Amino acid sequence: MDAESTPPPAKYRKVSKPEHSISISTVEMHTGGEPLRIVTSGFPNIEGETILQKRRYVKEHLDHLRKLLIFEPRGHFDMYGVILVKSDIPEADIAVLFMHNEGYSTMCGHAVIALGRFAIDNGYVKAKEPETNVNIQCPCGLVRAQVKCENGKSGSVGFVSVPAFAFATDVEVEVEGHGKVKVDISYGGAFYAFVSAEEFGLDVCNSGIEKLKNTATAVSDAVKKTVKLEHPDSDDLAFLYGTILTDGKDDYSSDPTANVCVFADKQVDRSPTGSGVTARVALQHHKGQIGLNQTRLFQNGMTGSKFTGKAVSQTKCGKFDAVTVEVSGHAFYTGTSTFTLEDDDPLKTGFLAK
């Protein structure tokens, strides 16, 4: 008799399973090393006519579930998640809200790359070879993904996001511990500050993660104190998401250029950052460092994972000269999960070890 069929000893009596007040199922993926937890069932109804209203509703009424899924013991400090919601625009195949350790983003490129595969593999969109279009409504607007399909299997994903633009260049801010530093600010579905790590004596590929994280956070704090952001579409989009430290190699080259993105509450992206690459390409185009349809490799300084990025057309976003940017990468499945909660769990609301 094998171990699986061996009955338990008679002295052990069977006890009833605990009751769970919450049960949420997810699909787990990663893009360039950056995790993505996609909620597939168990989330309460999210109210709101528009996706930005839904984002506000989740923030005001369901934030305990973000903490349950993102925080320890079910998640970790750098976990990232997606909630599928009902779209309010007819051309969207799926609509999503993004969540992280601090709250809710307006755009996430690594998530879009994963969601492209997820939408096809789970029947939201019918696969067509050699490429399938997947339209994803994000809080920043409609993002169009193109998924490579071959022999019934989804593959690499490219996406064209909302118009991206340089908001301000050479902005002088007072960075604690470093004095006055000039930074650039650009939008790629979310606003980022950009500065070369060399300004602080750091190397994005070799300096320790804590040094990079603390320096980028200090830059973000300085920009938030100094710069008032604005977006033509909505005030809900007018906030600094994070700082991207670069290797300073912004002129067009066939060689990869590396960066590390620190966003939200000192969260460190393991991928090159899809919305960050979008914003960086827009910034490079604004400065004349990259032309239209010049593909560039962007590399995460810690993991070495790569995305490609290129500006494909010029456009406008309100008063700003903008470009549409195509970013490409590959996502992979890592598993599925069902997360539960017992009401008498003293740590049921989650925690973060900082």
Q: Which residue has the higher pLDDT, 321 or 14?
A: 321
How many helices (H) does the chain have, and how many strands (E)?
5, 17
The structure's pTM equals 0.93
**What is the per-residue pLDDT across 23-41, written as a single tens digit (0 to 9) for each?**
999 999 999 999 999 999 9
**What is the per-residue pLDDT across 210-265, written as a single tens digit (0 to 9) for each?**
999 999 999 999 999 999 999 999 999 999 999 999 999 999 999 999 999 999 99
pLDDT band at 21 (very low <50, low <70, confident <90, very high): confident
Average pLDDT, the chain: 95
Cα 272 from Cα 25, distance rounded (Å)? 28
Residue 18 has pLDDT above 80, yes or no: no
Residue 4 has pLDDT above 60, yes or no: no
**Residue boundaries of the structural domains of the chain:** 22-162, 165-327
Residue 1 has pLDDT above 70, yes or no: no
Percent of the chain with pLDDT over 90: 92
Mean pLDDT of 115-140: 97
Cα 257 from Cα 284, distance rounded (Å)? 12
Question: Where are the extended beta strands (E) located within the chain?
Answer: 22-31, 34-41, 81-85, 94-99, 131-138, 141-150, 153-160, 165-175, 179-187, 191-196, 240-246, 257-263, 267-268, 296-300, 306-317, 320-329, 331-341
Chain center to CA of 269: 8
Question: Where are the extended beta strands (E) located within 86-239?
Answer: 94-99, 131-138, 141-150, 153-160, 165-175, 179-187, 191-196
Residue 14 has pLDDT above 70, yes or no: no
Vertex 188: Cα angle to 127 and 80 (nearest 5): 65
Question: Has 108 been annotated as catalytic?
Answer: yes
**What is the per-residue pLDDT across 156-193, written as a single tens digit (0 to 9) for each?**
999 999 999 999 999 999 999 999 999 999 999 999 99
Q: Do domains 22-162 and 165-327 have the same CATH topology?
A: yes
Whole-number pLDDT of residue 29 = 98
Whole-number pLDDT of residue 175 = 97
Longest dimension (CA), the chain: 78
Cα 294 from Cα 306, distance rounded (Å)? 16
What is the architecture of the domain spanning 165-327? Roll (3.10)
Q: Locate 93 and state its tokens.
A: 């195949």
Q: What is the DSSP letter of 88?
A: S
Dump the DSSP string for 108-140.
-HHHHHHHHHHHHHTTSS---SSEEEEEEEETT
Q: Which of 108, 138, 140, 261 is catalytic?
A: 108
Q: Locate 187 and state its tokens.
A: 């939008």
Whole-number pLDDT of residue 12 = 59
Distances 10 to 7, 16, 223, 303 between C-alpha atoms, Å = 8, 16, 67, 52
Percent of the chain with pLDDT over 70: 95
SS3 for 25?
A: strand
**What is the per-residue pLDDT across 67-115, written as a single tens digit (0 to 9) for each?**
999 999 999 999 999 999 999 999 999 999 999 999 999 999 999 999 9
**What is the per-residue pLDDT across 263-278, written as a single tens digit (0 to 9) for each?**
999 999 999 999 999 9
Please check whether residue 295 is in contact with residue 137, taking contact to mean a CB–CB distance below 8 angstroms.
no
Vertex 168: Cα angle to 164 and 170 (nearest 5): 130
Residue 6 has pLDDT above 90, yes or no: no
**What is the per-residue pLDDT across 281-309, written as a single tens digit (0 to 9) for each?**
999 999 999 999 999 999 999 999 999 99
Q: What is the DSSP letter of 21?
A: S
Name the CATH topology of 22-162. Diaminopimelate Epimerase; Chain A, domain 1 (3.10.310)
Whole-number pLDDT of residue 152 = 85
Residue type, 245: L
Residue 11 has pLDDT above 80, yes or no: no
